[in-house]
Each structure stands twice: as structure tokens, then as C-alpha cells.
Amino acid sequence: MKEIRENNLAANATRQGARLRAAIESWKLPVVTEIRGLGLLFGIGLDPTRIEVGEGETAALKIVKSLIAKGLITVPAGANTLRLLPPLNVTDAEIDEALAILKDTLSGY
């Protein structure tokens, strides 16, 4: 708690979360059906009809595998939801890098 207070990490989480949400919403990608969450915890809803998957694979898992291959570690939160959960001390540069990878990946669908 001391680290969180001293480094104003709650305010950073609020600011970075707003940046993430605004950027993703501005892309208006057809594969993104919704953005849920608060602060830095996000669920990005995916349109499974736009993502061709193999047997035993979900839309979210396919996207997660692609993101991980490009250096962005994330996990699915259900069959059609991508979870983003950056650390409270995430920097502007790290958010920018994550957004670039995310946009590049999701734009392919």
C-alpha cells in the first residue's frame, strides 16, 4: 500500500485506463463488440463470426496467441473476450507499445 500511495499508482491506473479505452474505441474495429472494465482491468468483447478458429480453439484464444507472439502478454476471459490487465505502474511508452500491437492484430479481422 505504501508503494501505491507514494507513487500515486491509483491515479496512473485511472489515466492509463482512460487512454486505453479511448484509443480502442477510436479505432472502431468491427471485430471489437464492446469494452468492459474499470481502471486498468479491461475485457474486450470480440465478434466470433469475424475470427476463423480451429477445432478446440476460441476467438479469444486465437487473438491471445497472436498477441503473445508479438510480445503482448494477455489471456482470454471467456470464449469471446480478451482480457487486458497491465500493472498499476505501466508507463505511457508501454501503453503506446501495447496499443500498437493490439491495433495491428485486431485490424486483421
Q: Write the CATH number for 30.
A: 3.90.1150.10
Count of domains observed in the chain: 1
Residue-by-residue pLDDT tens, the chain, 109 positions:
787 788 889 999 999 999 999 999 999 999 999 999 999 999 999 999 999 999 999 999 999 999 999 999 999 999 999 999 999 999 999 999 999 999 999 999 9
Structural domain of residue 64, as residue ranges? Answer: 2-106
Q: What is the dihedral of CA 48, 52, 57, 62, to 10 degrees?
A: -80
Cβ neighbors of 80 (< 8 A, separation 6 or more) are 33, 45, 46, 47, 48, 58, 59, 60
- Kindly report the pTM of this predicted structure: 0.91
